[in-house]
Chains A and B, each alone.
Chain A
Amino acid sequence: DVKVTQSSRYLVKRTGEKVFLECVQDMDHENMFWYRQDPGLGLRLIYFSYDVKMKEKGDIPEGYSVSREKKERFSLILESASTNQTSMYLCASSTAEISYNEQFFGPGTRLTVL
């Protein structure tokens, strides 16, 4: 059973804290993604990675950074959390094989920044 796991389901942090969100996939996928989901805005891409140590900015990278030291792990970092980063964060992965374009999602981390 394929799986994408995220380190926390719920997280509460204070403004200014450094926040790490971890994502691990066990499918040997090349591509990994971080999205945030807000009511009325759908899913917005923050960053993605197509290989170890490779990363590309998505649509809303400001205030975030990422790290991919190992193929199975993709971390999202909020350097200094702010209240407008309160959101649901979703990690996803997909294979690089052109015939298979499905994304597999983790359960999400609901982050609240106070």
Chain B
Amino acid sequence: SQQGEEDPQALSIQEGENATMNCSYKTSINNLQWYRQNSGRGLVHLILIRSNEREKHSGRLRVTLDTSKKSSSLLITASRAADTASYFCATQEGTYKYIFGTGTRLKVLA
């Protein structure tokens, strides 16, 4: 079964607004990653946060991690139409295994 569960499943916002997506997971993790998938394409890595980190920034992206609640959030500030995509969280168990959530579909309206 999928460990990561994103919330909401779908999100529609206006250009310039902020978008927040949440991810919950069930077991202990080494790190948590966020990926973006444009329609019908492969996934692209956005950001990684390690289990001993609480917050990380990359450009317009801000990720938080709360290991006590087993949850993470991805904030995209000042969204653009080009941010329209599906966003997935992924947790890493051990050395090789990555577990992906079911994704949040983000639509940014121009």
Binding site for B on A (CB under 8 A): 4, 31, 33, 35, 40-45, 48, 50, 56, 58, 88, 90, 92, 96, 98, 101-108, 110
Further pairs besides A44-B2, A107-B41, A108-B40: 5, Cβ < 8 Å = A41-B102, A42-B4, A42-B102, A105-B44, A108-B41
A40 nearest CB neighbor, chain B only? B102
Residues in A with CB closer than 8 Å to B98 are: 33, 45, 103
A48 to B94, CA, bound (A): 13
What secondary structure prevails in chain A residues at the interface with B? Answer: strand
A96 nearest CB neighbor, chain B only? B95
Q: Is B45 an interface residue (CB 8 A)?
A: yes
Give chain B interface residues in 35-71, CB to chain A under 8 Å: 35, 40-45, 48
Q: In the complex, are the beta carbons of A110 and B42 less than 8 A apart? A: no
Binding site for A on B (CB under 8 A): 2, 4, 30-31, 33, 35, 40-45, 48, 88, 90, 92, 95-103
Residues in B with CB closer than 8 Å to A35 are: 100
Residues in A with CB closer than 8 Å to B45 are: 102-104
Residues in A with CB closer than 8 Å to B44 are: 105
A52 to B102, CA, bound (A): 30
A4 to B43, CA, bound (A): 11
Residues in B with CB closer than 8 Å to A48 are: 96-97
A98 to B42, CA, bound (A): 23
Known contacts A41-B102, A43-B100: A101-B31 contact under CB 8 Å: yes
A8 to B44, CA, bound (A): 19
